[in-house]
Amino acid sequence: MKVSQIYVYPIKSMRPTTLSSAKLTCDGLPYDRTFMLLKVKPDGQLQNMHIDKFPQLSLFLTDIEFPASADHTNGGKANGNAKDAKGWITVTYKNSSSPHPESGVGNALRIPLKPETSNLKRFEVMMHRSLTTAYDMGVEYNSWFSAWLGFKVVFAYIGEHRRLALGNFASPGMNGGWMSTISSMIPVPIPGLAGPKDASKVLTFADMAPYLVVSQTSVDDVSFRLPPGEPMDVTKFRPNIVLAGASTAFEEDYWAELIIGESVTVQLRNNCVRCVSVNVDFDTGAPHKGEAGTVLKKLMKDRRVDMGAKYSPVFGRYGFLHREAEGGEAVIRVGDAVKVSKINAERTTLEWPGMTN
């Protein structure tokens, strides 16, 4: 197999930036899901905005302009301005090429990749029962998104804060410490684990894990369930890493560990269970009205294979960086060879408080 696509989602639930290569870290690809919108409800409470509840978020396109000093290559743009080493995200509202008719704000917004936070208000964000602190980016950004969405929002930046992975996502020793796996094919040396002292506190605004890996063979299986000429858009599955060349669809259900390139090792700890986000029409920002709006239902027929979430279909595997490559680097590139180094004897069972049966 090989890496066929790499995606980073700088703003949760919006469209991704495509990369040609990326440096992996213990808490995800750099800049992945470090921003998120929250809706301000009538009572002043904040609601996390995820694409299953707010499909219109798919109308916002993102493009990353990496800092000139960045040592990771990319598929976005390198910032050639030596006086400006910040790096930027450009967000574009795709349904308009002109300013907002009422507020007058433009259809594009530039956001610093790493904002200065010393003067920003802090507030707590709870996502899937995992608490963190975030920064309110302020009126300039809140007003821009509010204008295009038609309701008041807060644009949040996670900064240096992280969320805890819960349930059996919480530590590298889950799944029985690999006692339930079949160690296969490839002898691998075992240096120390990569990661912070608290190896479970690694999540940005990603749902449950720093990485999501999917197989193109399985994406093709979904495409075969749709009318001719309507292939499934892989980005509806929100992957970070797409792998091409698997022999059969959904064999990844049993993958426990991958080696990408020479020595970048990713542990695949759990299945990703799916919701109505896979039915969203990216052209309209609403549930698709055709066959593509029934993808979740189609998957329900044969993909409810995780006993921890038996009413939800499975597509893809959640991953954690296990070990950095020699020299402390963990860089992957499109075209890198991928080997399955460990296989589970049985499918894993999802455990996350409030999210499972």
Give the residue extent of every domain in the chain.
2-28+164-344, 35-161
How far is it, in rounded angstroms, from Cα 312 to Cα 308? 9
149 contacts: CB under 8 Å, gap ≥ 6: 37, 56
Q: What is the pLDDT, as a whole number, of residue 337?
A: 99
Q: What is the pLDDT, as a whole number, of residue 108?
A: 94
Q: What is the pLDDT, as a whole number, of residue 266?
A: 96
Q: What is the pLDDT, as a whole number, of residue 191?
A: 31
Q: What is the pLDDT, as a whole number, of residue 329?
A: 74
Task: Tell me the CA distances in angstroms from 161 to 240, 297, 320, one per residue in order.
Answer: 21, 37, 18
How far is it, in rounded angstroms, from Cα 239 to Cα 266? 14
Q: What is the pLDDT, as a whole number, of residue 77?
A: 58
Q: What is the pLDDT, as a whole number, of residue 323?
A: 60
Please give the CATH topology (third level) of the domain spanning 2-28+164-344.
M1 Pyruvate Kinase; Domain 3 (2.40.33)
E strands in 194-335: 201-203, 211-215, 241-244, 255-260, 264-273, 280-281, 286-287, 314-323, 331-333
Helix (H) or strand (E) holding 220: helix 216-224
Q: What is the pLDDT, as a whole number, of residue 98?
A: 76
Which backbone phi and psi does 113 adopt, to 5 degrees?
-60, -40
How far is it, in rounded angstroms, from Cα 175 to Cα 85? 42
Q: What is the pLDDT, as a whole number, of residue 313?
A: 99
Q: What is the pLDDT, as a whole number, of residue 184?
A: 35
Q: How far apart are the first and last CA of the chain?
A: 34
Q: Are 42 and 62 in contact (CB under 8 A)?
A: no
User: What are the tokens at 291?
Assistant: 């066959």
Q: Is 276 helix (H, G, I), strand (E, B) or coil?
A: helix
Q: Is 142 helix (H, G, I), strand (E, B) or coil?
A: helix
* Burial of 282 (C-beta count, 10 Å sphere; 0-12/13-18/19+): middle
Task: Tell me the CA distances in angstroms from 127 to 6, 190, 342, 345, one per residue in order.
Answer: 25, 34, 31, 32
The arrangement of strands across the sheet holding 88-93 comes to 77-78, 60-66, 88-93, 108-112
Residue by residue, pLDDT tens for the chain (357 residues) are: 999 999 999 999 999 999 999 999 999 999 999 999 999 999 999 999 999 999 999 999 999 999 986 555 555 555 444 445 689 999 999 877 777 877 777 899 999 999 999 999 999 999 999 999 999 999 999 999 999 999 999 999 999 999 999 999 986 544 333 333 333 333 333 233 333 445 678 999 999 999 999 999 999 999 999 999 999 999 999 999 999 999 999 999 999 999 999 889 999 999 999 999 999 999 999 999 999 999 999 999 999 999 999 999 999 999 999 865 445 679 999 999 999 999 999 999 999 999 887
User: What are the tokens at 162?
Assistant: 């992280």
Question: Exposure string (b/e) for 232-244, b if CB count within 10 Å is 16 or more?
Answer: bbbbbbbbbbbbb
Which backbone phi and psi does 47 adopt, to 5 degrees?
-115, 125
List the one residue out of 271, 288, 272 whose CA is nearest residue 280: 288
User: What are the tokens at 277?
Assistant: 């986000």
Task: Tell me the CA distances in angstroms from 129 to 62, 124, 244, one per residue in order.
Answer: 28, 12, 34
